Amino acid sequence: MELEIKNLSKNYKRKKAVKDVNVTLHPGIWGLLGANGAGKTTLMRMLAGILEPSNGTVLYCGKDIRSNAQYRSEFGFLPQEIQFSKDLTVDNYLKYMAALKNIPLEETQERIDNLLQILTLTDVRAKKIVKLSGGMKRRVGIAQAMLNDPKVLILDEPTAGLDPGERIRFRNFLAQTSKERIVVLSTHIVSDIEDIADHVMIMKDGELNRIVRAAEYDDLEKLYVSIFMNEEADYEII
């Protein structure tokens, strides 16, 4: 199982948001680090198949994701910003998403119960999502992304809005459940990924500036800062 990104670019009228990205992702956690406006969200959207690239392709198991039904059935996505229907409870929303994800009816309730427990949302399952705190809403978003036990999980700034305790719990949850899947997690906060990511992709001005094995670096923050300060950093691209 691999997700192959080939010559991926996205041009807007006056801006090249993503420039010629090439990388092949294997199972494990891939951190995507970059400042605001670096092109992370645009890249994530193209990986999710909801934004047409100007150039290049994304292949899942060798097949273009745009015409790959398997990809959508094995895919989970949490966008950077998501608002939920005003009238749905947590439970109703997840049941609706389960129907969209074609999760067998007999498995749906068990999966929802399990995720709600892991994400400590059981007590609020009957509440309308709009009435939940920002952190809880974020966890509902994570729950929907994980609902179909995806082989490819794209999380755009998943920890935004979570308190420190929730961040830690989320990191642990992700570390435990990501062995057999490709997880791409974008953030501009180094500490979100430094302990859990297997690889870190650093993005700057739409380009993948560095791809490194996280375990090989004691100080990821230093690398990140040096890239953004335009300092020469003596690291290899893997």
Partner 1 sequence: MRLYKQELKRILLAKRTKVIFIIAMVMSVFLALLASEFNDANVPSEDGYITPLHGKEAIHFLEDASVDGNGEVTIESLKNALQRYQDLYNEYGMDPLKPGMSDDKFPLNVYWEEVYPINSLLRMMNIAYGTNDGQADLMALKLSDLDNFYGACEVRLEDAMRSDDLLRNPDYISKAHALYNNVEKPFVISHGYTRDAFDYVSFTILLLVLFSAVMVAPVFSERYESGEDSVIRCTEFGRGKLVRTMLMAVITVSSIMYWAGIGTHLLVSDMIFGMNTLKESVQVLYTVYSLPALNLLELQIVLALTGWVCCIAVTVMATCVSSIMRETSTAMVVSIIMVFLPTFIYMGIGSVSWLLALLPSAAVGLSNNMLYSLVDLRFLKIGGIVFWYPVVLVFFDIIETVVFGIISHFVYIRHQVR
Q: Which one, of 48, 15, 34, lies nearest residue 58 by Cα?
A: 48
The C-alpha atoms of residue 25 and residue 218 are separated, in whole angstroms, by 23
Tokens of 86: 């005003």
Footprint of partner 1 on this chain (CB under 8 A)? 45, 48-52, 69, 72-73, 75-79, 81-88, 92, 95-97, 99-102, 105, 141, 144-145, 148
The C-alpha atoms of residue 45 and residue 154 are separated, in whole angstroms, by 9
Nearer to partner 1, 93 or 224 (CB): 93
Give all strands (DSSP E) within 36-114, no chain letters. Answer: 55-60, 63-64, 75-78
| Residue 5: Cβ within 10 Å count | 21
CB 6 to partner 1: min, Å: 20
The C-alpha atoms of residue 201 and residue 145 are separated, in whole angstroms, by 22
Nearer to partner 1, 84 or 217 (CB): 84
CB 51 to partner 1: min, Å: 6
CB 232 to partner 1: min, Å: 36
CB 206 to partner 1: min, Å: 17
Nearer to partner 1, 45 or 167 (CB): 45
